[in-house]
Amino acid sequence: MQDKMLSSRAKEIKPSPTLAIDSKAKAMKAQGIDVISFGVGEPDFDTPENIKEAAIKAIRDGFTKYTPVGGTDKLKDAIIGKLEKDNGLKYERAEILVSCGAKHSLYNTMQALLDPGDEVLIPAPYWVSYPEQATLAGAKPVFIKTLEADRFLLDPAAFEKGITGKTKALILNSPSNPTGFSYGREALARIAQIAVERGIYVISDEIYEKLLYDGAEHVSIASLGEEIKKRTIVINGVSKAYSMTGWRIGYAAGPAPLIKAMTSMQSQSTSNPTSIAQAAAIEALNGPQDSVKAMAAQFDKRRRFIVDGLNAIPGIKCVPPTGAFYAFPNTSALYGRSPEISSSSKLAMYLLEKANVAVVPGDAFGDDDFIRLSYATGIGEIEKGLERIKKALAAF
């Protein structure tokens, strides 16, 4: 029955590899077990008050109907202003599409850019949705391994080597989920040069741009010259910077013909993103930015705390990340010690069962030597979680 019911596309999509751990953690919580979760990929802060008020006002004012498919002019202008002020990028309204979250922006981009048979280069470790979205567009994800010693940044030589006659695009994510590292100007310039020379499009996911530490500076690859800008689709949104994950507002900035095609696709699927969330996003981008800095400062404190704590656990080694809110420690030294913890998934399952701590196994992101811990949770919880991990692993 199932064989005939599902489309070949639906059959190709893998269920999230983190699902087993996640559903077990939820089941344990439902049973009343006190599970500490390092699994979540969203800020734990409330959406800032001024942003919530803007949405409430939009409801009161009756701003509750369809808007233009690709977002209101006012929101597009706020995005254009942000891209110019923060990233030194100049765009017109016709080069902007607002979607239902940055994930939706990425989805639209891949649908409008990729044909069956196209290859998409994805540096690994990668965010789980990239290969699945490329596959949904009929394209083939091709992974390029990056190294911990290189802070998981794409080696330009490896990028060049990965290009074939079928390569259409490269996906960059800086700062990165899951690794927490970001690209500097020079590294991006070399990648940009290759992309321009070889005619490769760059999908640049910059959703964690506002969460950078230790003086790291965000650079958008699109800002490195007119030629690379013509080949880049910048993806960003309000979810991570303004703690607005539930509002579902993301955007893409890129060449007008591509944005037009993406807008047509969106017009036949979701139509416009929620009107009142668009009003909130305008306030997020145009209003005071102090809450962003305050949240980033909190994340920075937690980052130092969790990295020190992880490095104090024998068998775990964590290079301090400089962005986003994830620690991505190397746990491979533990795998030889017992069959119970001989891979990232087994280790994650063991930690959940024995320590009641939820982490995400690195194999979900394409590298089994690591696990991912989100520090978007209070210091007290982090401390308790780390103690539990240490205790559980002392058995080996």
Ligand X SMILES: *Cc1c(COP(=O)(O)O)cnc(C)c1O
User: In Å, how far are 42, 357, 359, 360 from 374, measured between CA atoms?
Assistant: 8, 12, 8, 9
* CB of 46 or CB of 197, closer to ligand X: 46
Nearer to ligand X, 283 or 332 (CB): 283
Query: Per rule CB under 6 A, is residue 232 in the interface with ligand X?
Result: no
Q: Give the one residue of 48, 250, 362, 385 binding ligand X; rule: CB under 6 A.
A: 250
Among 43, 48, 237, 323, binds ligand X (CB under 6 A): 237
Cβ count within 10 A of residue 294: 12
Contact by Cβ (8 Å): 259, 51: no
In angstroms, give the least distance from the CB of 273 to ligand X.
Answer: 10
Q: Which is nearer to ligand X, 41 or 180 (CB)?
A: 41
Q: Which residue is nearest to ligand X (CB)?
A: 101
Please name every residue paired with 13 in a beta bridge, in sequence order, or none if there are none. none
* CA–CA gap between residue 283 and residue 291 (Å, rounded): 12
Burial class (CB in 10 A: 0-12, 13-18, 19+), 63: middle
Is there a contact between 142 and 121 (Cβ–Cβ < 8 Å)? yes
Q: How far apart are CA 52 and CA 284, in angstroms?
A: 9
Residues in the chain: 396
Given the rule CB under 6 A, which of 57-65, 97-105, 115-123, 275-283 is the region that contacts ligand X?
A: 97-105
- # chain residues binding ligand X, by CB under 6 A: 14
Span from 62-70, 96-104, 277-285, 312-320 in contact with ligand X (CB under 6 A): 96-104
Residue among 18, 239, 322, 332 that touches ligand X (CB under 6 A) = 239
At a CB cut-off of 8 Å and minimum separation 6, what does 90 contact? 80, 83, 84
> Does position 127 bind ligand X by CB under 6 A?
yes
CA angle 54, 58, 64 (to 5 degrees): 145
Exactly one of 25, 54, 102, 253 binds ligand X (CB under 6 A); that residue is: 102
245 forms part of the interface with ligand X (CB under 6 A): yes
Listed ranges 101-109, 112-120, 133-141, 190-198: which one lies at the site for ligand X (CB under 6 A):
101-109
Q: Which range binds ligand X by CB under 6 A, 87-95, 221-229, 235-243, 330-338?
A: 235-243
Strand-pair partners of 319:
none
Q: Say whether residue 180 binds ligand X (CB under 6 A).
A: no
Which residues lie near ligand X (CB under 6 A)?
41, 101-103, 127, 173, 177, 205, 207, 237, 239-240, 245, 250
